[in-house]
Amino acid sequence: MPRKELETLQLTRLKHLVDYCMNNVPFYHKRLTEAGVTADKIKCLSDIQYIPYTTKADLRDNYPYGLFAVPLKDIVRIHASSGTTGNPTVVGYTRNDINNWSDCVARFCTAVGVTDEDVAQISFGYGLFTGALGLHYGLEKIGCSVIPISSGNTQKQAKILKDFGASVLVSTPSYAMYMSEVAHEMGITNDDIKLRIGLFGSEGCTDALRDKIEKGFGLFSTDNYGMSELMGPGVSGECEHRCGLHIAEDHFLPEIINSQTGEVLPRGEKGELVITTLTKEGIPMLRYRTKDISRLHYDTCKCGRTHVRMEKVQGRSDDMLKIRGVNVFPSQIEDVMAHIDGISPHYELILTRKNYTDNLEVRIEINDVSLLESFSELERLQKEAAFKLKTVLGIQAKVTLVPPRTIQRYEGKAKRIIDKRNEEE
Ligand code: DLL
């Protein structure tokens, strides 16, 4: 669609969205009224700047269903991702939302050459995470034969990949890398497998890792991006030229802002990506602050698509970590620790990568030195902390208890995260 036509469509959808939010979500009604914004006030796309931002904290404060715009009767699916503290971020989809979602995913898969001849192995974990079911529906829409193997049990993954003749692999890039090494250890060579395309996302991937995966599996590796609050995968994806990820702009209106001041930045500048969902019915998002850092390119791509391209995500403006594809906030860990007697609020998170798999170690001070004399008490505390962390984070962490006052203190902002993951690559 020519950009002019696209922008007209976006404006019509934006005005409708403002009305829709005003009439169906009390939270937005209040926000928009306070800001003096009505659909009539939106005369051009840049008038979006008068609409207040929405943040993850707004979802948390309205947990679980407070931002839904329709009754649960009209919701056909619920997903969730990590919140900053105890409660997850909950999202709901109407039947139309699921249809649009499958379309968006089908689009980026098609843009890299996936067809109905393909057999796609989905190695994302099925569950509340949006990755697996999002890709599943999109690939089925194209007509692929989908293998919903889910994540884990890597030897079995490698065997199925070979035996079922999978031509498309869906996973995080780090898991793909690990799987290729396991496959080779099992004696499976690239001649034994039919893989041709990798649809990788949910976490960043350096060029070095991309090259290694391509060599390891003999496939063409592509990047796609999304987040639960906006839909899941399908917000953007690379085309065969891999020069940025095309955003599905008929469904998502992107902006780049200065994350410190909230000011909208001119086209082409780097900053925090903010997205407004133009068609979502279940839980529409007005100017959602993704906290992901990127840059937008509006010139037409070699592939002919007019949809804007976002650069690969270059980091976050907050402290969220992606560990084995799961969002982890240090504040969640702090929250867990605060509720365990015998543990102090001083901790350090150490991230390492072995066999392309992330490992998290949480080092925490005990608050009473006499505990060091009781092995059984220490073991009990350590088990309790590990169990509670697993429950909240959804991933296993190694807990190491250390004596009081052994973790460094900071006068300014504490440096609690020691990320050594890129040292392996
Ligand atoms: O990770 C959705 C998704 C699933 C996208 C599968 C692609 C494939 P969340 O769990 O809510 O949703 O995590 C969203 O993950 O804000 C980014 O920080 C990060 N992220 C997602 N895709 C990419 C990517 C899914 N391609 C958060 N590159 C986002 C870098 C990514 N980071």
Ligand 1 centroid to Cα of residue 53, in Å, is 20
Are 111 and 305 contacting, i.e. CB atoms less than 8 angstroms apart? yes
Are 126 and 152 contacting, i.e. CB atoms less than 8 angstroms apart? no
Ligand 1 centroid to Cα of residue 88, in Å, is 16
Least Cα distance to 280 among 7, 3, 9, 13 occurs for 13
β pairing state of 168-171 and 220-227: unpaired
> Which residue bears the tokens 């005990």?
366
Q: How many CB atoms lie within 10 A of CB 423?
A: 8
Max Cα distance, the chain (Å): 73
* Nearby residues of 175 by Cβ (< 8 Å), 6 or more positions away: 123, 151, 324, 325, 356, 357
Tens-digit pLDDT profile for the chain (425 aa)?
Answer: 999 999 999 999 999 999 999 999 999 999 999 999 999 999 999 999 999 999 999 999 999 999 999 999 999 999 999 877 778 899 999 999 999 999 999 999 999 999 999 999 999 999 999 999 999 999 999 999 999 999 999 999 999 999 999 999 999 998 999 999 999 999 999 999 999 999 999 998 888 889 999 999 999 999 999 999 999 999 999 999 999 999 999 999 999 999 999 999 999 999 999 999 999 999 999 999 999 999 999 998 999 999 999 999 998 999 899 998 889 998 888 888 888 999 988 899 999 999 888 999 999 999 888 888 889 999 999 999 999 999 988 889 999 999 998 998 876 677 889 999 987 65
Least Cα distance to 28 among 248, 262, 235, 276 occurs for 276
Q: Which of 202, 222, 326 to mutate to test the pocket of ligand 1 (most atoms within 8 A of CB)?
A: 202
**Rounded distance between C-alpha atoms, residue 99 and residue 279, angstroms:** 11
Atom nearest to 232 CA in ligand 1? 2
| Structure confidence at residue 414 (pLDDT) | 75
**Rounded distance between C-alpha atoms, residue 320 and residue 315, angstroms:** 10
Atom nearest to 227 CA in ligand 1? 12
Ligand 1 centroid to Cα of residue 376, in Å, is 41
Give the residue whose CA is nearest to atom 29 of ligand 1. Answer: 227
Atom nearest to 223 CA in ligand 1? 26
91 membership: H or E segment, kind and range:
strand 89-93
Ligand 1: lining residues by beta carbon, under 6 Å: 81, 130-131, 201-204, 223-228, 232-233, 290, 292, 313, 316, 322, 327
Distance of CA 150 to the CA centre of its chain: 17
Tokens of residue 112, six digits: 């890299």
Atom nearest to 313 CA in ligand 1? 30
Q: Which of 78, 137, 225, 293 to mutate to test the pocket of ligand 1 (most atoms within 8 A of CB)?
A: 225
Q: List strand residue ranges (DSSP E) for 193-248, in order.
A: 197-201, 220-227, 232-238, 245-247
> Which residue bears the tokens 């089925």?
140
* Nearby residues of 381 by Cβ (< 8 Å), 6 or more positions away: 340, 342, 343, 366, 371, 401
Are 45 and 25 contacting, i.e. CB atoms less than 8 angstroms apart? no
